[in-house]
A and B are shown apart, each in its own frame.
Chain A
Amino acid sequence: MTFIVRTVSRTADGRVIIRPTLVDKETIGIGRDATNDIHLADLAVEPFHAAFTRLPGGRVLAQTVGGLGFAVDGRSTKRAEIDANRGAELRFGGHLLTLAMEDGVATISVERTDALSDATGEKDERTVFSLAGLLPGKRLGAWTFLILILAACLAWPVYSWATWHDVKTRPVGFHADKMWSSGPLSQAHRALENNCQSCHEKAFVSVEDNKCVACHIGIHDHADPKRQINAMAPPNFGKRVQNGFKSVFGVPTGQRCVDCHTEHQGAGPMPATAQAFCTDCHATLKSRVTDTKLADVSDFGTAHPQFRPAIVTDSSGAAPIFRRVSLDASPIQSNGLKFPHGTHLSATNGVARMAQTMKSEQGWDNALACKDCHKPTSDGVRFQPVEMERDCQMCHSLAFDRIGGTVRTLRHGQPAQVVADLRAYFRSTGPVRPISLGGVERRRPGNYAASQTSGNYASGLRNYGGGADAAISAVFTKGGACYDCHVVDRTGDANSAGWRVRPVVQPTRFLQKGWFNHEAHKTDKCETCHKAATSETNSPIMLPGITTCRECHGGESSRADVPSSCAMCHSYHIDASAPWRAKRDVSRAKGQGRFVVPAGYLKGAVR
């Protein structure tokens, strides 16, 4: 009795069946081949895999036969001496052999522990066909994402806010509340991009006006705030809906900076205020603010009143009087000057002939052109006042005397000096003494000729001073040097012999509320808009009416060549400089690429 081989198998319900076999041999074979004493139907086992040999002292030698090894107590080997009294577990492929000594007989229990194949192993038929084992569960994924996003996109930004909301400037770097930003800030506010708290001061409180005017200190109200509230049109459906949302979430619905100046709309320049923001009030303003002098406006192309330039209506007083008059009323300006544009621009008259004569000297063409007298300002927006000395005197000489080779001229702009100069002229020279008048000897009776000469001379001497008065009158009256160009009144003082030349007023800006830029229109000829060639006196205002502008400009959403919102010519926070939009257009046209804040607009500048 050498070996007892117990074959262990299990039924489907787990019951164990043991079939013991007695093998009376010193050496027994183990393998897949059926002739082996221990037959393992196992493809991982060689047909003749190993042999067990009984050694003295209850020891068993396990030795490979085919070359493939086996495992003894978990360690793989090809040869092992095993003390059967202490027992051992041997693994051959999917079989487990347990060696033990029972009553002096080496007992080997053989059991297949591994499944025949993967498919025959334990498979949960409900899940094996689904993706359940291959992917993390849906519930796990759901919770993971939920927590991750809440932590990253809500908790972290809140933490950033809590950490930084009371500093003036945050250090450079990523701040988590940046991911809440709905879009980049406009160019002008780009520097604030990192510092959310510079506008968003308190949590759940919308941006307040004081945050804006903290920097924009020069900003003034468009009009009396109370009147502005009255001026607002009743909210339309959309506005009512928005106000509903606002009031639910505690946002003020009155007039606030951010109502017009919305930020986070893109990195470019802040868009010009849309026409609708103006027409909200101005389209039907008269019906609410009944005492307003402003006409209702809803669109430049279709509903905009005629321009009302501020023109000089009276320059006779100490200060000229300006009045805004509609161009439809064909206003006449009274600026103290007489100037027929047509005469000066003619290509055929004496002026043109004179231009031709002085062509080489003055650089003129065969006739005068606008530019010969009107010099643009350095920014090109408008024109410098015309100056007598620079722009008129080359033709309109004030010369009246020649002493030797020197020509004396009347002093322009100084009537008293003119009067004094003329008197001096007549005083310092007398009538030429007739050579026949002789010496101082007594005149003989009968020399009638001498007597006549003497009498004439005496009379001439006596009357010579009166010539000054006549000459003075001639200068200041029709046909005189002053009178032809200036309006002359007889209200002057004694110094000017009672003559008074009215002060000349040359307004450089007619449109006080709107804005016109000649620079932007310089591709056009002057005559396109200003009908100067046919104007025979200076009095009619030659400003083009709205019809002329509308040839190119229409409302914001029109199909005109230049769709123009209100902001192109008007500014809400109006001051002496161009509206923001116009300034931006100019700076862009000049390639500066950046909005130029006018001097004095921001904090610290002198206004």
Chain B
Amino acid sequence: MATRVSVQNRVRGSGVHDGFLRHNGFYWAKIAGVISLIALLVYIGIDVKPRPSGGSWYGYTLGTIGALLILWLTMLGVRKRAMTSGRWSLKSWTSAHVYLGLSLIVIATLHTGFQFGWNIHTLAYVLMMIVILSGLFGITVYSVLPRSLSNNRNETTEPQMLEGLRAVDRQLHEAAQPVAQHYAELVRSSLEQDPFGGGLWSRLSGRYPRCATRLAKAEIRRETVHMPKLGDEPLERIDALLEKKEAMLARVRRHLRIRALLEIWLYIHVPMTFALIAALTAHIVSVFFYW
């Protein structure tokens, strides 16, 4: 048994990739699980009078643990700016951050004694849950999306994607020079639309209902559908280029969508963490203020 463990350790040490989630054989997951289980068992086991609440001895204990834990979890933001290895490596720290953060769901919920209301105390709890749930979302997208991100990119880099768009734009611009103003405007609308525009919702959903490229292509096709295909008509070339641009945009937008999903949670996670710390401060001060 001991030999097997040491072999595993050696393999792990030899550089095989091992994400922060399964870091060190789920070491922190186990610790967080044990903490949660103990908290839960004690909650079930003890008979707090008149009813479980943050003001019971158990409530105080869990509250203290929870508050310190929240402050420590926040320190990841400081810690991640210094990358080290070893026992307290950033990966280990992140692993602890994730699992201890999840154990807060149990600790803080039991701390409340399930007493909720329209007050600062519940606000702190709600903010904490928003932070945890956004973090949970983050873990999920981090474990799922990078693969599809790289699949979608098809071995191109972001600058290459941008350059591709520029190239097709230049070709469109060139191809549209001889055509009538009416068609030139359609092409221009495609050129002038920001391929990265569309707002947050478009980013997250991948829907661009007013995509000028698609509209231009549709309009040109509608008007040229009866024309004979001669092969040297500028409109045919424009049509082909718009189709190429549309495919390119689709890929870029999938890329943007995945990146947005990978990033968006931090826009909730981080500000809400600070909101939580403010609410936590108000919660603690208020408890002792109106003892």
**Chain A residues close to B by CB (< 8 Å):** 32-34, 41, 43-44, 46-47, 66, 68, 116-120, 123, 125, 128-131, 133-135, 138-139, 141-150, 153-154, 157-158, 161, 177-184, 196, 200, 203-207, 238-239, 241-242, 245, 249, 251, 262, 265, 271, 273-274, 276-277, 557
Contact = CB atoms under 8 A, between A and B. Distances in A.
15 contacts: A32-B181, A34-B177, A41-B174, A117-B190, A119-B169, A128-B162, A138-B271, A145-B271, A148-B275, A149-B279, A180-B120, A182-B54, A182-B55, A182-B287, A265-B50
Nearest to A248: B60
B291 A200 contact: yes
B290 A196 contact: yes
Given A154-B285, A179-B119, A68 B181 contact: yes
B115 A183 contact: yes
Given A150-B278, A153-B279, A120 B263 contact: no
B181 A46 contact: yes
A41 to B, nearest CB: 6
A238 B57 contact: yes
A119 B57 contact: no
B165 interface: yes
Contact of A265 (B53, B192, B266): B53
A247 to B, nearest CB: 12
Contacts of B188: 43-44
A245 B57 contact: yes
Contacts of A242: 56-57, 60
Contact of A249 (B180, B256, B291): B291
Interface string B26-58: 000000000000000000001111110111111
- Range, interface on chain B: 35 or more
Given A119-B165, A154-B285, A204-B291, A149 B60 contact: no
A161 B178 CA distance: 77
Contacts of B169: 116-117, 119-120
Contacts, number: 201
Contacts of A123: 162, 196
B192 A138 contact: no
A131 B263 contact: yes
Nearest to A46: B181
A150 B47 CA distance: 35
Contacts of A180: 119-120, 286, 289-290
Given A145-B278, A180-B290, A116 B272 contact: no
Interface of B: 46-51, 53-58, 60-61, 115, 117-121, 123, 158-159, 162, 165-166, 169-170, 172-174, 176-178, 180-181, 184-185, 187-188, 190-197, 199-200, 203, 255-256, 259-260, 263-264, 266-267, 270-275, 277-279, 281-282, 285-291
A277 B61 CA distance: 21
A203 B289 contact: yes
Contacts of B197: 118
A145 B267 CA distance: 12
Given A179-B119, A271-B50, 18 more contacts: A32-B181, A123-B196, A129-B196, A131-B263, A134-B203, A141-B267, A142-B274, A146-B277, A148-B278, A181-B119, A182-B54, A182-B121, A184-B117, A204-B288, A204-B289, A238-B56, A239-B57, A273-B50
Most buried by B among A66, A141, A161, A273: A141
Given A204-B291, A276-B47, A43 B187 contact: yes
A66 B184 CA distance: 14
Nearest to A177: B290
A249 B192 contact: no
Nearest to B261: A131
A179 B291 CA distance: 14
A200 B49 CA distance: 22
Contacts of A116: 169-170, 173, 191
A251 B288 CA distance: 10
Most buried by A among B46, B187, B196, B200: B196
A216 to B, nearest CB: 19
Nearest to A237: B57
Nearest to B187: A43
A145 B280 CA distance: 13
Given A182-B54, A183-B115, A150 B270 contact: no
Nearest to A182: B121
Contacts of A68: 181
Contact of A32 (B48, B177, B259, B260): B177
A119 B200 contact: no
Given A150-B281, A179-B119, A43 B185 contact: yes
B199 A182 contact: no
A154 B203 contact: no
B49 to A, nearest CB: 4
B60 A245 contact: yes
A183 B287 CA distance: 12
B184 A146 contact: no
Contacts of B46: 238
A298 to B, nearest CB: 13
A118 B115 contact: no
A138 B266 CA distance: 8
A152 B123 CA distance: 12
Contact of B274 (A128, A146, A196, A557): A146
Contacts of A149: 123, 275, 278-279, 282
Nearest to B158: A129
A151 to B, nearest CB: 9
A117 B181 contact: no
Nearest to B194: A118
A422 B172 CA distance: 140
Given A129-B255, A138-B271, A204-B291, A117 B172 contact: yes
Nearest to A240: B57
10 smallest CB-CB distances across A and B, nearest first, come from A141-B271, A117-B191, A242-B57, A206-B291, A145-B275, A117-B169, A149-B278, A142-B274, A180-B286, A43-B188
A37 to B, nearest CB: 16
Contacts of A238: 46, 48, 56-58
A496 B184 CA distance: 137
A146 B278 contact: yes
Contacts of B290: 177, 180-181, 196, 200
A135 B119 contact: no
A32 B172 contact: no
A135 B194 CA distance: 17
Given A118-B193, A120-B169, A245-B57, A135 B200 contact: yes
A145 B130 CA distance: 14
B256 A129 contact: yes
Contacts of B272: 145
B192 A118 contact: yes
A66 B181 contact: yes
Nearest to A275: B49
A182 B117 contact: yes
Contact of A130 (B123, B178, B259): B259
Nearest to B266: A138
Contacts of B178: 33, 47
Most buried by A among B54, B165, B255: B165
